[in-house]
Amino acid sequence: MSKDREFYWRRLHSLLGIIPVGLFLTQHLLINFSATNGEASFNKASEFMGNLPFLWFLEWFVIYIPLMFHAFYGVFIAFTASPNNKRFGTFRNWMFLLQRITGVFLVIFIAWHIFQTRIQKALGTEADFNMMVDILSNPIMVVFYALGIISATFHLANGIWSFLVSWGITQSPKSQRVATFITMIFFVVLSVIGVGALLAFL
């Protein structure tokens, strides 16, 4: 792959990770958080999302296709990336490693989550509060989903940091430290929302 082509593929990968994939993840967790208000609240929010106009188009061209590109190209990057020890300090190297570990894990988690929800819905199972209660009745699934949520929120938050650097928005060490602080707060808040939603189904 030529350097120029790789540059543009990586830019597209970075952009799609924020818009629309990152926005969808945030919206998805907020919708799920409605479960903390009870079964009726979650079912109402889920039904509203399921009845959006042009749903098929939105799912494929706003969610699935961008997500698949980001996931598959991300796996390629994870297994071909060179260490960045010379560019960043120890903390950022750990973030670099965790970004790739969570990315690979998320490919597995998201595929399984889609199988348990969207595909089962297509096969006739009602995608409602009780579906998630049934899925999470298995303790192994609770741990798996908790790891999936935290991996997703970390991957998004750290991905925002990387996006800001790679797109030239935060270039100075000070601006990068501020971005680290803000994105880690975002990670914690979004994780609390996601795990809180998970616990509501138990």
Q: What is the pLDDT of residue 45?
A: 95
Query: Which amino acid is located at 14 in the chain?
Result: S
Range of the domain at 28: 3-200
Can you spell out the DSSP letters for 111-122?
A: HHHHIIIIIHHH
Number of domains in the chain: 1
Which pair of tokens denotes residue 96?
Answer: 């670099």
Can you spell out the DSSP letters for the chain?
A: --HHHHHHHHHHHHHHHHTTHHHHHHHHHHHHHGGGG-HHHHHHHHHHHHT-TTHHHHIIIIIIHHHHHHHHHHHHHHHHPPP-TTTS-HHHHHHHHHHHHHHHHHHHHHHHHHIIIIIHHHTT---SHHHHHHHTTSHHHHHHHHHHHHHHHHHHHHHHHHHHHHTTS--SHHHHHHHHHHHHHHHHHHHHHHHHHHHHT-
Q: Are 119 and 157 in contact (CB under 8 A)?
A: no
pLDDT in tens, 109-150: 999 999 999 999 999 999 999 999 999 999 999 999 999 999
At residue 177 the predicted structure's pLDDT band, cuts being 50, 70 and 90, is: very high
pLDDT in tens, 2-25: 677 888 999 999 999 999 999 999
Task: Give the separation between CA 197 and CA 155, rounded to whole angstroms.
Answer: 19
Tokens 């020890």, residue located: 85
* Count of other CB atoms within 10 angstroms of residue 81: 12
pTM of the model: 0.94
Which pair of tokens denotes residue 51?
Answer: 């009845």
- The mean per-residue pLDDT over the stretch 37-56 comes to 93
pLDDT in tens, 54-107: 889 999 999 999 999 999 999 999 888 765 555 556 888 899 889 999 999 999
Q: Are 146 and 179 in contact (CB under 8 A)?
A: no
Q: What is the pLDDT of residue 34?
A: 97
CATH code for the domain of 9:
1.20.1300.10
